[in-house]
Amino acid sequence: MVARLKVQYCKVIVLTSLVWILVDVCLLTYYTDCMMNSQSQSGCVSGGRERRSSGQSSSTSSAGFFGRLLPGVMKLKMTDAPGEMGRPVVIPESQKQLMKEKFKINQFNLMASDIISPNRSLSDIRMDACKRKSYPVDALPNTSIVIVFHNEAWSTLIRTIWSVINRSPWKLLEEIILVDDASERDFLGTKLEDYVASLPVQVHVERMGERSGLIRARLKGAARAKGKVITFLDAHCECTDGWLEPLMYEIYKDRKSVVCPIIDVISDESFEYITGSDMTWGGFNWKLNFRWYPVPQREVERRGGDRSLPLRTPTMAGGLFAIEREYFYEIGSYDPGMDIWGGENLEMSFRAFIRQTMVI
């Protein structure tokens, strides 16, 4: 009886030791992955910096040894971090005053933005009908992404870049062009150039010699572009899954199309990702102020009630859109005499209308 108890005790001790050894190995490999992948990023986002072949989708990036060993745990770890899956960031009461002071720098909650990973995850908010669509990626035109910034916050700019890299088929991504409209913050100088030089896609930084405004800065980026399509983005946005293929597909079908994505909302207070409506289109009032209006019944009927089909809109918001590079210049590009933003969207919409171009 005593001998049998001793054998059982030995089994328990050996099994417990093996469990702790396994835990130690997992912890070691986890922190090894973090050190290898962080490189100035907040938190460990596995595989974010790994280079991939040009035709490989971002969804197949390596998750590191720990991620491959326990993918469920890795996913749980990532999605529990602040702001992951588009959840709001809650600032402790003791830091609210500092948060308010930092808010004045860029007119959004900079403290919340800095807490969020540059590679933060977002939910796939597309309708099921959109998720089921497939696109001939090999036949689609490639694009140059043009992003203009002036004194932009580091965290929002880098998160914009990473969202493009992580959620775009690399075969369609010719390059990302950052146009600095005479920023005065040191971290947007050499530090930014060094950072983007290590990214897994081509990222160029263009500098305006003096403060020139959004339009002339965009024109400088367009002149630098080599892709068949120019896609303009803001410096503080985040691309979601499947964002690029539909834009390129519409231009592939008709090179005269000017294509805009649905623009969702990122809260300036908490950086919560808020899904926008797909049943509004762009218009303007008699003061030439851009406004969103409900989609009229005639457009609903034209699409046969299928909300996954492109929506034809009279005017566009202007901050985010794609246009074939050569056609951009055929319709006159932007008026370089425009000093401030706010009218370029109507200008481009009117140019498209005069040339009988489809804005969708």
Average pLDDT, stretch 66-94? 72
Q: What is the pLDDT of residue 124?
A: 94
Would you place residue 38 in the very low, low, confident or very high pLDDT band (cuts 50, 70, 90)?
Answer: very low
Q: Which residue has the higher pLDDT, 124 or 44?
A: 124
Q: What is the pLDDT of residue 161?
A: 98
Exposure on the CB side of residue 193, measured as CA atoms within 13 A: 7
In this predicted structure, the answer to whether residue 24 has a pLDDT above a threshold of 80 is: no
Spell out a b/e string for 33-60, using b for 16 or more CB atoms within 10 Å of the CB, else e.
bbeebeeebbbbbbbbbeebeeeeebee
Phi, psi (5° rounding) for residue 125? -95, 5
Q: What is the pLDDT of residue 302?
A: 94
Q: Token pair of 258, please?
A: 């000017």
Q: What is the pLDDT of residue 62?
A: 39
Would you place residue 33 in the very low, low, confident or very high pLDDT band (cuts 50, 70, 90)?
Answer: very low
- Name the residue type at position 33: D
Write out pLDDT tens, residues 296-328.
Answer: 999 999 999 999 999 998 888 888 999 999 999
Would you place residue 54 in the very low, low, confident or very high pLDDT band (cuts 50, 70, 90)?
Answer: very low
In this predicted structure, the answer to whether residue 354 has a pLDDT above a threshold of 50 is: yes
Within 10 A of 136 (CB to CB), how many other CB atoms are there?
10
Q: Beta strands of 105-192 (E only): which ranges?
A: 143-149, 173-180
In this predicted structure, the answer to whether residue 215 has a pLDDT above a threshold of 50 is: yes
In this predicted structure, the answer to whether residue 65 has a pLDDT above a threshold of 50 is: no
CA distances 261 to 9, 166, 172, 242, 314, Å, are: 64, 17, 16, 11, 15
Average pLDDT, stretch 127-150? 96
Q: What is the pLDDT of residue 12?
A: 58
Average pLDDT, stretch 112-130? 95
Q: What is the pLDDT of residue 39?
A: 38
Q: Full-prediction pTM beyond 0.95?
A: no
Would you place residue 156 in the very low, low, confident or very high pLDDT band (cuts 50, 70, 90)?
Answer: very high
H or E element in which residue 198 lies: none
Write out pLDDT tens, residues 193-208.
Answer: 999 999 999 999 999 9
Average pLDDT, stretch 6-30? 63
Q: What is the pLDDT of residue 8?
A: 64
Q: What is the pLDDT of residue 340?
A: 72
- In percent, the amount of the chain with pLDDT more than 70 equals 78
- In percent, the amount of the chain with pLDDT more than 90 equals 64
Write out pLDDT tens, residues 167-194.
Answer: 999 999 999 999 999 999 999 999 999 9
Write out pLDDT tens, residues 244-274.
Answer: 999 999 999 999 999 999 999 999 999 999 9
Mean pLDDT of the chain: 83
Spell out a b/e string for 107-127, using b for 16 or more CB atoms within 10 Å of the CB, else e.
ebbbbbbebbbbbbbbeebbe
